[in-house]
Structure 1
Amino acid sequence: MHQLINKMGDQKGSSDEILHNLFTLMKIYKDGRVERLSGTDVVPAGLDAETGVLSKDVVISPEPKLSARLYLPPKISAGRKLPLLLYFHGGAFVVESAFSPTYMKPLNLLAAEANVLIVSVDFRLAPEHPLPAAYDDGWTALKWAASHAAGDGGEEWLNEYADFDRVFLGGDSVGANISHNMALRVGSSENNNNSVDGVKINGLFFNCPFFWGAERIGDEGDIPIFVSFFDTICRVALPEPAGLDDPRINPSKDPELAKLGCKRIIIFVPEKDPLKHRGWLYKEALVSSGWRGAAQVVEVKGEHHIFNLNNPTCDNAMAMLKKLATFFHDHNP
């Protein structure tokens, strides 16, 4: 994110046919053409020699097409199952995928260090599929995972290794936004005992969460080009006339926030991330709403947005993995 300042060009030099310019990510033209500038590369699944993590790709739903990449850590004790993390990638709702090289190393490290089974969901992207498509895909993936709770689902890794008493949702940037909206849907559903098909969400993991709003908080307004960038993300991903304070984008404006369907949240906010104030505001809004849970914010000194994706083995990234290992394996929250 911090690199955008140096890479953003003057929009006056762009073609008059450009409707939205997301700079290093995407250009959307007035004739409907979409040009993705990053996040389109993919890498195959398989055995990671460094961590011993084994990954594979699965189809969750044929229509709409929904796939995921699964990560299985090497440390599996006989008779003991692993926490299950449904992970949602970042990319401003418009780029990246579950099969991107951006995520392969970080998720291999996360699976190995935190000893969790990961389902990384490849949700549909805007503008071709505006919100709530990504939320709907997240819900489909969550119900698919829950269908394995009795040990007779269609995916052997979930049947054999997943502990459905320890199910988590998480992701980076907009992936954290998706995780929030999934948990809120869980808690808001009628007659479900705060669960999905009998499976409860143990906790949420947010890394550099993307939330936004019409009013500036903290020092958000100090760099107008960031404000324009985030405003454009919201317009592209959510083109309906809901505005920047749509509760899906700005949870602090959601009167139903107390219904969030989990009891624990850990939020990582880098010190130099323009979005860090939104992570802090999220916690404050939860407390004010009357939500009965525990939220922890970890401010990562000296780091920028998605720092762990840019440098997965830096000291702060590895420290985050250790905190997550404790979070996922805490049987007495």
Structure 2
Amino acid sequence: MDASVSNEVAKDFSPFLKIYKDGRVERLSGTDIVPTSLDAQTGVASKDAVISPDTGVSARLYIPKTKITTNPTKLPLLVYFHGGGFCMGSPFCAYYHSYVTSLVAETNAVAVSVDYRKAPENPLPLGFDDSWAALNWVQSHFEGQGPEEWLNSYADFERVFFAGDSAGANIAHHMALRLGHEGLVGVKLKGIALVHPYFWGSEPIEGETHVVENRAKAEGIWRFACPSTIGADDPLINPGKDLKLAKLGADRVLVCVAEQDVLRQRGWYYSELLKKSEWGGAVEVVETKEEDHVFHLNNPTGENAVALLKKVASFINQDI
């Protein structure tokens, strides 16, 4: 193939990824792999596990090892879904490994960070199916008979939480919905924490940007990741169109939004939808001023990022 053709860009989703006309996918960040370890600063240990050899779905597990040795009590279980527009990122890259490590240290919880298959090579809804398969794998440990000893020994399945950022927050929401409909034996989902959730819709809502470029990009990423979608009013991206919303299988919901994020109003709108539904749980929204989308990953030691981490940890530890 002519080099000029192979280097011609078909779709440009910078700073996330580029798709070339020859079909090549170039991810612009989140492709690095950090090895598992015992983190000296936090005392958190990590290890990797294969969930499905057939699909390649896997996870990175975390435990607050230095605290477990002095306190044998079982700990809350956090299942985390990474963001990246359904197309990029992984539990193994530096910013997600660091974030989940810090969250485990702050909450004193056990965590499973899910590596679902990504679009466009694996278009949605495969990522949702992979995430549900991961939850079923996690559930297989609730009687202490699963393949991973960390989950058998330390995870409290009566105190389970889902969390995620951006596209991962969307996934966390849908996993809570599916749990509400289908259930997971032995699993009590106490809450979900959605950080800058990636929801959208065909029509602007009150207070939302009308900038054509922003709206086109927000919808374009969705259509790219899920080519079979009916559009921006697909219930998978627009919870306002989901007739099953009231079946959300969590007791509490924390929604975190950022003042300068184009998705800010969608987070507020989601909270209002829950309040107006027959769901019956408690929802809280926390807004960070003067910050943009997933700022906490880009500047994890900043004052606002630390405050956000502590808020998510407080949400998880609320019932302890």
Q: What TM-score, normalized by structure 1, do the two folds share?
A: 0.90
Task: State yes or no: 1:256 paired with 2:244.
Answer: yes
Task: State yes or no: 1:67 paired with 2:58.
Answer: yes
Note closer, same or farther for the CA distance 1:326–1:16 as it changes in structure 2 (3 Å cut): closer
Q: Check whether the contact 2:204–2:210 (CA below 8 A) recurs between aligned residues.
A: no
C-alpha deviation, 1:16, in angstroms: 10
Match of 1:112 among 105, 108, 117: 105
Counterpart-to-counterpart distance in 2, 1:105 and 1:258: 34
Q: Check whether the contact 2:6–2:22 (CA below 8 A) recurs between aligned residues.
A: no
Q: Check whether the contact 2:157–2:186 (CA below 8 A) recurs between aligned residues.
A: no
Counterpart-to-counterpart distance in 2, 1:103 and 1:201: 23
C-alpha deviation, 1:264, in angstroms: 0.5
SS at match of 1:84: strand
C-alpha deviation, 1:249, in angstroms: 0.3
For 2:201, the equivalent position in structure 1 comes to: 213
Counterpart-to-counterpart distance in 2, 1:52 and 1:223: 46
For 1:6, the equivalent position in structure 2 comes to: none
Q: Check whether the contact 1:22–1:232 (CA below 8 A) recurs between aligned residues.
A: no
Q: Check whether the contact 2:119–2:225 (CA below 8 A) recurs between aligned residues.
A: yes
Note closer, same or farther for the CA distance 1:299–1:128 as it changes in structure 2 (3 Å cut): same
Instruction: Show CA shifts across 1:219-271 (max 9, x none).
Output: 54343332222111111111014111000100011111101111101111011
Task: State yes or no: 1:170 paired with 2:130.
Answer: no
Task: State yes or no: 1:144 paired with 2:137.
Answer: yes
Task: State yes or no: 1:25 paired with 2:13.
Answer: no
For 1:322, the equivalent position in structure 2 comes to: 310
C-alpha deviation, 1:169, in angstroms: 0.7
Match of 1:80 among 43, 56, 73: 73
SS at match of 1:58: strand
The one-letter code sitting in structure 1 at the alignment partner of 2:133 is T
Instruction: Show CA shifts across 1:85-144 (max 9, x none).
Output: 110111111111110112122111111011111111011000111111111111011111
Counterpart-to-counterpart distance in 2, 1:94 and 1:82: 32
C-alpha deviation, 1:273, in angstroms: 1.1
Count of residue pairs brought into register by the alignment: 314
Note closer, same or farther for the CA distance 1:293–1:38 as it changes in structure 2 (3 Å cut): same
For 1:51, the equivalent position in structure 2 comes to: 42
SS at match of 1:71: strand
Task: State yes or no: 1:198 paired with 2:186.
Answer: yes
Match of 1:35 among 16, 20, 26: 26
The one-letter code sitting in structure 2 at the alignment partner of 1:254 is D
Q: What TM-score, normalized by structure 2, do the two folds share?
A: 0.93
Q: Check whether the contact 1:114–1:321 (CA below 8 A) recurs between aligned residues.
A: no
Q: Check whether the contact 2:83–2:164 (CA below 8 A) recurs between aligned residues.
A: yes
Counterpart-to-counterpart distance in 2, 1:289 and 1:79: 40
Counterpart-to-counterpart distance in 2, 1:94 and 1:260: 25
SS at match of 2:19: strand
Counterpart-to-counterpart distance in 2, 1:301 and 1:214: 26
* Amino-acid identity (%): 54
Q: Check whether the contact 1:58–1:67 (CA below 8 A) recurs between aligned residues.
A: yes
Q: Check whether the contact 1:208–1:270 (CA below 8 A) recurs between aligned residues.
A: yes
Q: Check whether the contact 2:30–2:90 (CA below 8 A) recurs between aligned residues.
A: yes
Q: Unpaired segments of 5 or more residues in structure 2?
A: none
Counterpart-to-counterpart distance in 1, 2:154 and 2:181: 29
Q: Check whether the contact 1:143–1:197 (CA below 8 A) recurs between aligned residues.
A: no
SS at match of 1:169: strand
Q: Check whether the contact 2:31–2:93 (CA below 8 A) recurs between aligned residues.
A: yes
Match of 2:212 among 210, 220, 224: 224
Counterpart-to-counterpart distance in 2, 1:221 and 1:271: 12
Instruction: Show CA shifts across 1:283-311 (max 9, x none).
Output: 11111221110000001122111111111
The one-letter code sitting in structure 1 at the alignment partner of 2:120 is P
For 2:231, the equivalent position in structure 1 comes to: 243
C-alpha deviation, 1:217, in angstroms: 2.2
Counterpart-to-counterpart distance in 2, 1:328 and 1:293: 15
For 1:283, the equivalent position in structure 2 comes to: 271
C-alpha deviation, 1:57, in angstroms: 0.9
